[in-house]
Structure 1
Amino acid sequence: NIFISSTGVARIADFGLSEFVEGEKPPRYSTEWYNAGNPRWQAPELLRASSTEEARRKTETDIFAYGRVMLELFTGRVPFSYLADTTLSIFKMVLDGQFPDRPLDKDVVAKGLDDNMWELMKRCWSVDPRRRPTTGVILDQLK
């Protein structure tokens, strides 16, 4: 979630709790992980969680989701937008550590999605939470 303060400053929070809603048909969920968010933005460790403690959101899980939001900002599309909305397939891809395809459209590159930015996003999406950059590293690279 990205909130805008009364002074116009963007604030980020609760990425792991985002939900993707498409169409008018109400979704049907058969797994408990629905309550934890959507696999398009959710860190693999949250998808693997089998207890409340394992499903606890941490800075590292927000960093993962932030990398996905960065991709959205550059493309205007949700992660894995080129796939049919097969949540189970996306779930498996995230667990397997697969990244969304890198967009190479001229307009996306013109917005700043260069090699360095792509590498930063991939680091945010690391399967190992300890390998994800800190917010300080992200801020330094975005300057």
Structure 2
Amino acid sequence: MTSYISSLKVHGDIKPDNVLMTNQGRPQLGDFGSASSTLSTTLNFTQTHSFGFTVRFAAPEIMGGENPFTKESDVYALGMTIFNVMTGQLPFADKSEVLVIVEVLSARRKPLQPNFGHVLQKDEAKSKMWELLKRCFAYEPGDRPKATQVKNDLMEVGMINST
């Protein structure tokens, strides 16, 4: 996924529902925004509603309608996706989508630090992972890491390998 973001492409809807795993266990991005499924009533998919974006994974500048989707907004969404995958919880799970928008735009809120205990064992790895995610969640797009840095940091904490 970080390779995709590093390329010249902007995805614009990175979220767990759009991540597919290959037979080799590697994540690949897909986009199911225009697809329909008879399973949607039984699966817990995130929804874009009428906002035109998936609130819990959208960067502040997307929520505010200020900018089109960019690589930086993809990095924000990737951080939220990593948070979701590692914790099993949606970002801001205890809040309505409207409240998420208000809190992110007005109070510049980020998700609270989770316990990565079931995924990461060493305190140093947990600390590095949280520092990475906080950088991904930066309010200002220019303060977010590049996708290559996200990839390097994920390799450093042992979440992905170098192949």
Give the TM bin, normalised by the shorter chain: 0.7 to 0.9
Structure-1-length-normalised TM-score: 0.72
CA–CA distance in structure 2, aligned partners of residues 98 and 4 of structure 1 = 31
Q: Paired residue for 1:92, among 65, 78, 102? A: 102
Superposition deviation, residue 5 in structure 1 = 4.4
Task: Give deviations 1:74-127, integer Å, cap 9, x for gaps.
Answer: 11111112x14x211111122132111111364355398611100100100101
CA–CA distance in structure 2, aligned partners of residues 74 and 5 of structure 1 = 19
Regions of 4+ moved over 2 Å? 3-9, 21-24, 104-113
Q: How many equivalent pairs are there?
A: 124
Which AA in structure 2 matches 1:43? Answer: A
- Give the direction of change, closer, same or farther, for the CA distance of 1:130–1:4 in structure 2 (3 Å limit): same
Query: Alignment RMSD, CA only?
Result: 2.9
Which AA in structure 2 matches 1:11? Answer: Q
The unaligned stretches of length 5 or more in structure 2 are: 1-17, 32-39, 156-163
Written as runs of structure 1 = structure 2, the 5 A alignment for 1:115-126 is 115-126=127-138
The unaligned stretches of length 5 or more in structure 1 are: 15-20
Residue 127 of structure 2 is aligned to residue 110 of structure 1: no
What is the match of residue 148 of structure 2? 136
Q: Paired residue for 2:29, among 2, 8, 12? A: 12
Task: Give deviations 1:1-21, integer Å, cap 9, x for gaps.
Answer: 21334665312366xxxxxx8
CA–CA distance in structure 2, aligned partners of residues 69 and 105 of structure 1 = 14
CA–CA distance in structure 2, aligned partners of residues 87 and 78 of structure 1 = 11
Which AA in structure 2 matches 1:87? Answer: E
Which AA in structure 2 matches 1:88? Answer: V
Of residues 56-65 and 100-109 in structure 1, the stretch that sits farther from structure 2 once superposed is 100-109
Give the match's secondary structure for 1:100: coil
Give the match's secondary structure for 1:107: coil
Structure-2-length-normalised TM-score: 0.64
